[in-house]
Amino acid sequence: MHRRKNCAEIIGLKMTVSSPRKKLIEVSIPLEAINAASTREKSIRHGHPSTLHLWWARRPLAACRAVLFSQLVDDPSSWPDRFPTEEAQDAERRRLHRVIERMVPWEASNDEHILNEARWEIARSVAWGLGEEPPAKGDGKAILAYLQEKAPPVYDPFSGGASIPLEAQRLGLRAYGSDLNPVAVLIGKALVEIPPKFAGRPPVNPNARKELERGRWNGRRAQGLAEDVRFYGQWMRDEAEKRIGHLYPRAKLSDGSEGTVIAWLWARTVRSPDPAANGAMVPLVSSLMLSTKEGRKAWVEPVIDASAPDGWRFDVKMGALSKDKEAKLKEGTVKRSGGGTCILTGAPMPFSYLRAEANAGRFSDRLMAVVAEGAKGRLYLSPSDPQEQTARVERPEVPEGEISHWPGRTNVVEYGMKTFASLFTPRQLVALTTFSDLVGEVRQYVLAHARAAGLSGDTTCLQEGATGPEPYADAVATYLALLSSKMSMFLTTQSRWRSGDGKTAPGFGRQALPMVWDFAEINPFAGAGGDWSEVVAGGVRVIAEQLAKQKGGKIDQRDARNALHQDVVISTDPPYYDNIAYADLSDYFYIWLKRSSRDIYHDLFRRLLVPKEEELVATPYRHGGIEKAEAFFMRGMAKALSVAGASARTFEPLAIYYAFKQSETSTEGITSAGWSSFLQAVVDAELVVDGTWPMRTEGATRLIASDSNALASSIVLVCRKRSVVAPVTTRAEFIRLLRRELPEAIDDIRKAGVGPVDMQQSVIGPGMGVFSRHSKVLEDDDSAMTVKTALAIINRVWEEIDQELDAAFDAETQVALAWFATYGFDARSSGELITLANAKNVGTDSLFHSGVFEDLRGRTALTPREKLPKAWTPATDKRLTVWECVQHTARVLNAEDGGAEAAGRLVAQMDGLADQARKLAYRLFEISTQKGWSQEALVYNELAQEWPHLEEAGSRVAQAGPKPAQAALDL
């Protein structure tokens, strides 16, 4: 949002010298650039910190970096002596936007030149606030030292996957975080706390020491630590293969040679309910296709064979395949609608029957296919008895850990898999216990080498900040423990085979434990996707490339309701109401991390499982129903945010993320239970909502879709502490204030380039600003208005304001808008147009001559963009309408011979109509969305988002003057 009122005006007090300076995040940020970088970041895998270990719904690093920067950098309006005019402030604001635009792409995360540029901007704001000047722009070391000494520390009381502390550290700031969940805390320590302790140190492994004898260590950051993780990870692999390699035999190929097995593909089996099947166990398979790649088709055929166990066997085939047969094979033997089908008799097996059999312990499994590495690529082999029997090993003793049943999230419980250990085959359990137990052994190995290498530093434990041989061995063991835990995503019956890619898909493709009928069991020693070596390589890359940016980071285990700090900048990403069962799901990893790391992190792993009762998530099954769960969430979140507010410095606003599920944004809108409960907690914490920024991690097409429950959009709430003398107001006065203040605020939001798709959430900011700056808004019966009611009122007033804008358009545009809202670009009888034109007191001739409508002889329609004249310009149009301005600009922006500069040239010629054209683009988006015209909505969303850039492009073109005519060529 682009707002010019300062915080003192918002709470009705006079601005004083001691009032906090307005920060950039409270005025304007380049939302489009941040969203684009955040969306792209989802496709980054190699080297991304998230690949070290899974944590659910991490905020994109790009968004965290931009928010932190904008929280700490002053808006130019805070320095009227340095930027005395509105034009000067706008120019400086645009400059800061360009700094953010350079800073947010993934490639910038390791670009010290760009990062130092951003750090200097933060240092400048800090210095000016202290009456000083910052260090020289090009002196990176001095800038970092200044920030460490004088910039405020950043604290995230819900640090989760540690994206916010990591990015604070990247920006040169002291970074602190805490979480109740021990798995999250360990991930945070590995990303933020541990690497700086050993930054710049050489590796201690014997191979590296031999190399070092020939010269100096030139590694940077935590590259020495990364090299040791790689070396000792390889030692663990070799040692594990010695112990359990016989459980993963090679496969015999058709030419008599042997090939390494990549994966064994298994199908669950159940006893057929049909008496004609004679009690046979039959397969449950979601798809019989093994490879859908063109030219490499492979599939499984169940073959009726009286000599085979249960009267059938699996036969794997490769070759050409008709589309009809492939479609049939993809249906498998169990469907999402209806259940399974017996392959012997065709008898139906409904889900109720399958659940009953599973809970009675009567499920089994059968090897379906073997995937091996051949000389020319992947081979798909029929199963053999030796391959199947090798997998039938004795089940080792492992912690069970009960899985909480959250319908729709942990459906495995409905099929008898009530413990986490039940999600693994015996062979997988043997492998995971082997790797987990080797972590303790490798720690002793590292310790001996660290001592031999003469590693200096304190000899107390890593937890106390020491850096000697013992803490270093603990550090290496920590990463190998996390990587052993990550292996459980691949060595599990939750892993699927991706026929389109020819590789396994690890568990937790979403934040749930669904029932998986056929699963892929990888070979941890295969040297292929998901095996131990690849998992270690991914972790090593993260440590070497992304970590140890700056010292001053610490992650602790704390309950956010009691995590009081002093004078910190609060930037936090709390749990999302009922979206993710963090505690329940993370037990999946806790059982392995406890086995490998409890000797290092006694306090973190002292419990049997992850703490759950205190977790601030509205889980109905834990709190006795939906209403009680919501009340628990609101009380706890209000307390946590109150503590955060008490911890926060006065000079910087708080930034609080909230993530929408797709279902919330598309069906419930801004009044959804989770969103309104979260905002109610913010208000109950006596915080004023000073702004809302929608940060998307999905593309615009995903946001318009309505069939996904994925987390689609993060709303960043910008908050300040509410005044102790905040007034009480009434419902009528609240609505009056909204009508008075929202039009200007909405206009500023549009000017900032916030697209129509994000407007609904963005308007919440100024609307909730009006609501939350009052200590109470009284209903007509003197009861206090709830946030849910306030949100509905804000939404209604916003719609009324937008509809009132229609009357400001020219008559031709009003007719076009009314037609579009009813018929879109469809043709109708001319009589329909005459009726609309008469109502607006405009002749049909004017509508045709202006080019807005086309005359189809008895019928008429809005002129499609593809039929608009290409030579059109606002400067030469004698019947210029706002409708034409929008449609022509949209056409030119996406034309092959057009683009931003050409579209900007049109905008520059619109003069007074440019602002109205921008507003019309928003209205057309809203109409298109309501009608379900997704492609048309995308056109107007892109146009509205690009409008500020088009104005800048038009300004540049105007300053450059007209293009010189091309000289004729003498032939």
Q: Which 3-state string (H, E, C) describes 399-412? A: CCCECCCCCCCCHH
Averaged confidence pLDDT in the chain: 87
Element (H, E) at 188: helix 182-188
Contact between 630 and 575 under an 8 Å Cβ cutoff? The reply is no
Give, as one character, the DSSP assignment of residue 668. Answer: I
Q: Considering only CA atoms, which of 393, 374, 421, 384 is closest in space to residue 264?
A: 384
Nearest partner of 99 among 123, 129, 128, 135, judged by Cα: 123
3-state secondary structure of 368: strand
Sign of CA dihedral 664, 667, 671, 673: negative
Q: Which two tokens stand for residue 168?
A: 């604070």
What's the pLDDT at 681?
84
* DSSP letters spanning 258-315: EE-EEEEEEEEEEE-S-GGGTT-EEEE-S--EEE-STT--EEEEEEE-TTSGGGEEEE
Cα separation, 555 vs 551, whole angstroms: 13
- Give the three-state DSSP class for 776: strand
**Residues of the chain below pLDDT 70:** 1-19, 458-459, 464-465, 549, 660-673, 697-713, 752-753, 957-971
255 phi/psi in degrees, rounded to 5 = -90, 5
CB 954 within 8 A of CB 905: yes
| Residue 786: its H or E element | none
CA distance 405 to 575: 19
C-alpha closest to that of 285 among 263, 307, 296, 300: 300
Say how many C-beta atoms besides its own lie within 10 A of residue 912's C-beta. 6
Residue bearing tokens 């600003």: 769
* 240 Cα distance to chain centroid: 35
- In angstroms, the CA 341 to CA 332 distance is 9
CA 282 to CA 623: how far, in whole Å?
Answer: 40
> Rounded to the nearest 5 degrees, what angle is found at the Cα of 35, between the Cα atoms of 29 and 38?
120
What pLDDT score was predicted for residue 712? Answer: 46
Strands laid side by side in the 312-318 sheet: 289-291, 298-304, 312-318
Whether 687 contacts 645, CB under 8 Å: yes
H-only helix segments in 375-496? 385-391, 426-452, 469-487
Helix axes 112-129, 61-72, angle to 10 degrees: 30
Query: Which pLDDT belongs to residue 127?
Result: 97
Residue with tokens 């898999």: 417
Are β-strands 569-572 and 154-156 bridged in parallel, bridged antiparallel, or unpaired?
Answer: parallel
Give the C-alpha separation, 805 to 823, whole Å.
21
Instruction: List the one residue out of 919, 684, 669, 704 whose CA is nearest residue 795.
Output: 669
Phi, psi angle pair for 903, to nearest 5°: -65, -40
The sign one gets for the Cα dihedral 816, 820, 826, 829 is negative
Nearest in space to 681 (alpha carbons), one of 4, 266, 31, 158 = 158
Question: Which contacts (CB < 8 Å, 24+ apart) does range 12-17 have?
Answer: 12/723, 12/727, 12/773, 13/723, 13/725
Tell me the sheet residues that pair with 266: 367, 519
* CA–CA distance, 142 with 459 (Å, rounded to integer): 31
Of 904, 931, 932, whose CA–CA distance to 918 is shortest?
904
Contacts 24+ apart (CB under 8 A), 59-62: 59/163, 59/164, 59/573, 59/657, 59/695, 59/714, 60/163, 60/695, 60/697, 61/106, 61/109, 61/163, 61/166, 61/167, 62/34, 62/37, 62/38, 62/104, 62/105, 62/106
Measure the CA–CA gap between 90 and 88, rounded to whole angstroms.
5
| Burial per residue of 774-803, b for 16 or more beta-carbon CB atoms within 10 angstroms, e otherwise | bbebbeeeeeebbbbbbbebbbebbeebbe
Report yes or no: 148 and 172 within 8 Å, Cβ to Cβ.
yes
One-letter amino acid for residue 17 of the chain? V
3-state secondary structure of 372: strand
Measure the CA–CA gap between 803 and 814, rounded to whole angstroms.
11
Cβ partners under 8 Å of residue 624, min gap 6: none
Helix (H, G, I), strand (E, B) or coil at 417: coil
Distance CA 837, CA 825 (A): 17
The amino acid that residue 207 corresponds to is N
Backbone angles phi, psi at 672, to 5 degrees: -60, 155
Which pair of structure tokens corresponds to residue 244?
């359990």
Contact yes or no for 71/569 (Cβ under 8 A): yes
- The model's pTM: 0.84
Look at residue 708 in the predicted model and tell me its pLDDT.
35
Length of the chain: 971
944 and 925 in contact (C-beta within 8 Å)? yes
pLDDT at 667: 42
pLDDT digits (tens, 9 = 90+) for 187-202: 999 999 999 999 888 9
Residues 6 or more apart whose Cβ sits within 8 Å of residue 383: 314, 316, 366, 367, 368, 369, 370
What is the per-residue pLDDT for 17? 37
Q: What's at 771, amino acid-wise?
A: F
Q: How far apart are CA 672 and CA 456, in angstroms?
A: 56
Q: Is 777 helix (H, G, I), strand (E, B) or coil?
A: strand
Report the sign of the C-alpha dihedral through residues 35, 37, 42, 48, in that order.
Answer: negative
Cα first-last separation, the chain:
57
Q: Which of 843, 199, 848, 216 is closest to 546 using CA atoms?
A: 199
